[in-house]
Structure 1
Amino acid sequence: MAAFIQKLFRTRKATPVKHPNQTTRKPSAKQETPPAPAQDSKEVLVNEQESQLAGEPEQAVLARLAIEGATAGIRLQAARKLSDESCLQQVQKQSRGRDKNVYQTVKQTLQTLREQQLAEQADQEKITDLVRQARELAVTEDTKLYQPRLESLLEQWKPREEKADTEQTRQFLEAVYHCRERLSELEREQKEAEWHREQARQRTETLTLLEQTLADLKNHNPATLPSTSALDALQKTQENRWLEATRDTSVSKAEQKQYEQHMQALRNYLAATRRLEQARESIANLLQNEASGDEARQLLSDIDWPKGFTLPDALASLQAQAQHHKSERQTLADESAAQNREQQKALARAVKNTLAELEAALEAKQYKESKQRLKAAQQQFQQLDSRHRKDFQARLQLLNGQFRELSDWQGFATEPKQIALCEQMEYLAEQPMEPEAKAERIKELQTEWRELGGSSDRALWKRFKSASDQAYEPCREYFQAKSGLKQANLETREVICGQLASFLDNIDWASVDWKNAERIHQTARQEWKAAWPVDFRQNRPLQKRFDSLLKQLEAPLNDERMKNEALKQAIVDRAEALIDHQPLDEAMEQAKALQAEWQAVGITRHREDRKLWKAFRKACDAIFARRDSERANRQQEQEQAEQEARARRARKMQATIRQWQALISERLTATSPLETPAHWPELVASAGEQPTRDLLIRLEILTGTASPEADQPRRMEIQVQRLAEGLGSEESTNPLEAAEQLVASWCLQDPDRDVTEQDAERLNRALDTLLPAS
């Protein structure tokens, strides 16, 4: 930013820099005054000085010639060859008021030299800053927009790469390498997270679909049944979908349980539906014959329609019939009781197994496993009736007491954990890590130590404290260095404030380049943000000054932006007015002119500009969409006309072939000449007389229809003959005319010649292939 402001105003005087490859020669304090030369001696002097210029004179010689040259041309030529700053300053001083051309030349050279020095200094400062930013990016915990930040650094580095020294290049590339490694890791993590999110979405959609399907089935019309094939396909697809959505990812127990419940309900309903379809005939017979309740109840039990779902009409009727028999209801009650007894027995076996697992876990001192098994056993125990509980109550109480002992024992296990913390801290002290991450890990271990309640063992505490101090030592050096960085950043921020203040003091708002002013505003904010971290307290007054300077700069910028936004809004209004403008060509030309006007408008607020651009683009799109719509309408009308023409030709062709087939059928029974198209006799005459068999084969060849096995040899002969005569190409270009000629020959042949129904079928079958597809 400093170089940019300097370039705008050029008010500061650059410190003279001595050229490293030049040796400044001070002119002699006393100059011998030669005697007044004659004309020929002046020419000699001119020739001598021109010879000196033609060679490679030193900067001091050039300075002397630029001041004391015999001619104005020699002085100007010498001045143009000067590059040493001290010599340029000497010539500028002595030529002031004496030689205007030399003075202006060295003045311009000095100004160019100073600008180059400022540019080189700015490049070096920027290179140093880019190296710092790259190294900070490699270790930062802020990964937001990580890739764009890295790409921005690379883009800024590329034009300055040749100006960086070897060490700067090494540091920058090393930091970029670490950034790219970290970026790859972030991308892997992001892909994995996206994959897990996609799996979660698939699971949610599966559960939603199953839940919705079951709800629909529960409210299904009892007069009809859903398609079993559709339900079966749904079940299989959702099972596969769930397997893929749970592969290599964590699924909560509640989610898995919900899926299993929904899927089991769907399986039960599908199985019951299939059983109902298989038993429809039996149900009809039972209802028709008013069978006993035992048979109806047995069939209901076999079908086992799931609870909660609407009972189909057939089953409802069967159930009503079964309920007329009191003995059957009692039987059902007895069966329910028997079923309950079986459930209790099964539950008792489950409790027995769980207690065995709990006992094994307690013996192995597995606290977590024991806790889970005890909870499961207690839940199962609560589901038992009083008679079965007696068998397990004492044993469950005993194992519960053993678990409490194991839990108490856990409280005395802190010493091994503290030893483990010491070992972890000692290991951490030996590991090379990024200082901030290492300091964070040290805090975590110290927190774990405190959560254990400390230690009464003094030696153990000293061991942990010593390891902590050793691990933190490189972190302390890092934070000390970071403190120095904070001070440097404060100094940088002071410079930024000074540059901003100087810019505001010298700017002429009446003739300012608004884009450059906006760029200075942005650059100041970026450089201020880049000069971080800083000490909060020391930065407070600087921050207030910076904010105040920014406000002074933002106020006129905002006024200019608002003015330009009003101009763009006017362009938008004019564009929207052109949407329905006629003629269309004139609207499009004006829209193009408005686009050019848009580009010429100056700075605006980014968000407002996006809104205005969106509205402007929408209006322009609507204008040009009218052109596209008209083109599409014309094309559609043309395609529709072509399609209608094709349809008319197809209908005409179909009618023609049907007419031929009707004449073929009439030829079988005709006793008098057929009423055929007027041009058929001419077609027959041009074709000549052909055997009936050849006519059939030629039509089958023409239409690609198979000939009977007995006619295959003759078909081959005709094909060879056609190739030899060159007839194939003519028929392929107009097969319909060729087919008409063959049909006409068959229909108008000698009435005394025998024709068979089989011949007619062969002809009609071949003609069917020429019919257009419907």
Structure 2
Amino acid sequence: MILDKLFKPKWQNSRPETRIRALKDMDCGTAENANIISNLAFEDSNTAVRCIAIARLNQIDRLIKLTQDGQKKISDAARERLGLFILGRAGQLDLTDRHQLMQKLQPLGDGLIIHIMQGGDAGLQAALVEQTKDDLQLVELALTASTTKVRQLAANQIEKLETLEELARKCRGKDKSVLQICRDKLKKHQQQLQQLQQAKADFQKLIDQISKLSRQDSDPLYEGKVAHLQQSWDRLSKEQPEIGQQMHSAFAEKMQLCQNQLDQWQQARQLEIQKQQQIIEAGENQQQICHLLDTALDERQQVVDFTEQDIQLTRSLLQLQEHCWHESCEIQKAADELARQYHRLSQLLHVWVNAAENYLKLQPELTRVIEEDHQHLSKIIDQVRWPTELPAPALIHQANGILAEVRQQKAQVRQEQQNQAAQLRQEMDQLAKLLDCGELKQARKMNRQLHKDLKASPKLPDQLRKQLHVLEARLYELEDWQGYATLPKQQQLIDNMEQLIDSELPAEALADQIHQLQMEWKELGGSGQKQWKQFSDAADKAFIPCKKFFEQRNLVRQQNLQQRQVIVDELTAFYEQTDWETVDWNALETILRTARDEWSKYQEVDPKNNRKVHRQFDRILKKLREKLDGFRKQNYDLKQALVEQAQSLIELPEDDALAQAKELQSQWKAIPLTWRRDEHKLWRNFHTACEAIFTARKENYQARKQVKQQGFEQAEQVLQGIQQQFEQAGDSKALRANLKQATQQIEQALPGQRDRSKFDQQLQLLEQQLIQQQQKMQQQNLVQRFEQIKQAAFSQDPVESFNTLTEQDKKAFAQRNHQPLVSEALLREKTVELEILCGHISPEQDQALRLQLQVARLANSLGQTTQAESSLVDQAIAAAREILLLQKLDEHEHQSYIYRVEQAIVFLLK
């Protein structure tokens, strides 16, 4: 056991300083040593030993676990070690592995980020920024990152409006590029917010319009208005789908109300049309009834001789027409004039029926009484034989007057009969001539006229009747002869007419065919009763579809005329009720287009009745077009003014002309369309004027581009030259002079900062490389100086080590022998002051002393300027030298403090 204790490894020594020195001297490359270092990092009782072990540990997974250690110093040391791996200062990880490790360690937080941002390359910093999602970290990176590119990238990653505003306030006056990014993103946010508000306003406007429309009564233009609003909503929903989805329910609810109202209006309109059709039919029936009664009354007035059958027919006609009249009046009350006409005609026919019945009953007795009274009166006068030479008594005179009047009437009757007989003889002579000439058609017509005259003059000589019978026999004979010639043609016409029954021809074409066959039949002249009946029956059957068609067409014409009148009324109401100061001109144009389309839909109307409505439609359209043309004229004047302004821009400087041209284009888009015939001409002139400006700019751009290309080539040559000088690693002062000269040459070749940004980045890299070389050389010199001081302080051959020191260090060593031994408290105080100066951590037991010294240092430094970095390094070396040269009673304690000094100096130089 004693031997084991004497020869056990130093890393197992009970003294922390021994274990620390063992760790520093241990080779990390072997697996055994790696496990020892890992165990010490996790299990050692001393915090300083664990920190040194962590600084030597290369096992990344173990380091990640140590970041979760309960002691802050241990977790911070593990984070610092991981940061060195990511920065490429520890281990042998390539760039890809370092990216992956950085992504894996992203949850470890701000400490790791600070390490990377203080010393990482641009690629790692950019990758870290892209992976960072925390806005506070992004703000910190945008403010403190070492390169402009990373700060800009961090600023670009921020999207929250409040965070951008905070970053803009903090970077104002510090980083113009980050501030510009913040302003651009804030401006973009503002534009998006304005667009969002405008979109919401547009959506709300449509909802208000559809809501207002849902409360209005329907009309023929209602469907067009609803369709226009639906199209506007669909267009806005495509542009802003999220807002459209949010507000869709309100619009859909009002749209459904409009659709329901439209359906109800259409149903009510259909019922109204049906009712109107019934009213029209009732009115037509009433007129037809009056026409039939009037015709019947005219026939009764022309006929003197009538029979009981004529009376029965008239009574049946009256009963039937009275029933039809009452049915039509239940549907539509007859007009006053038409009602008066009906009652007058009906009353006259009733009176005629009653009088005719009474006349037929009393006709025999009336005839007898008239004849007997006249004969008896004549006998009495003959018996009296009053002489004509003497004045006759009044009664005899009255009787002679009556007899003279009777004789005069009889003479007139005889004269009329003679005239009628003469007219009949003349007509018979004409009939005989027509028969001689074979004019069958005219002969039939003359025969019908003879029968009509015979019916009006029943008392004619038998000779005339016999003569007429002879002529009719000749007529029948002529018809028989002609019938043999026309019968085949008539039969062909009958067959053609029967073929038209159930024909699939359109109604109008079918009616033309029927009329054509009827004309051909008429041209053939007379025909047999059988043939005529066959032809007439076939024509009636064939015309049935035409009758339905023409009835339906008349109905459609009436309905279309009513619809056109409704359109005129709606347009008139729209014109009178519209506020022309706030009118929606696009809606007006839609209404006019819809009105014309609706008007064309009802094109089938009666031309005679349509004239008045069409004139009204033309007048109201003219008024609305005048309003719309006034608006278009205003737009035309505005666009013409823009054309003139654009044509005058060619005289301005290029940048001013270009900016104003873009502004004019924006104004052009904001102005609605004018007349289509003028819009193209205005646009062509405006486009030509703007294109001239853009063409001139393009030509100037090409010239500048050529000059810029030459500058690029010259700058590339200068850059390649300076890069070659840096590759040769010459004198740093000469390199700095050459770098300055190269920078001036590139600025002369490329005056624009944006154009030489690529070269500026390369020059900055060379500048950084030069600075790093100088810093590295300075650090090497300082490390060498520190090692020389350390070696001189503890070397066995002080003379040889003393000769390697600087003059300043030699003077310090010369005074060492005169210094007294110091206490451990003073040594601790000097060491903690050095750690404060270098910014390195102190052991836990020295934290109270460190805080006390920091407060005193702060109080002493008030009002003094901050030391430069080179002065700080010099102070640290002087302080370290002082500690190394102190005379300490306990050598082992002195060695532990020297180790702390070494760690602080190394930390400061890094």
TM-score w.r.t. the length of structure 1 is 0.27
Q: Hey, which of these two has a bigger chunk of helix by percent? A: 2
- Greater radius of gyration (CA): 2
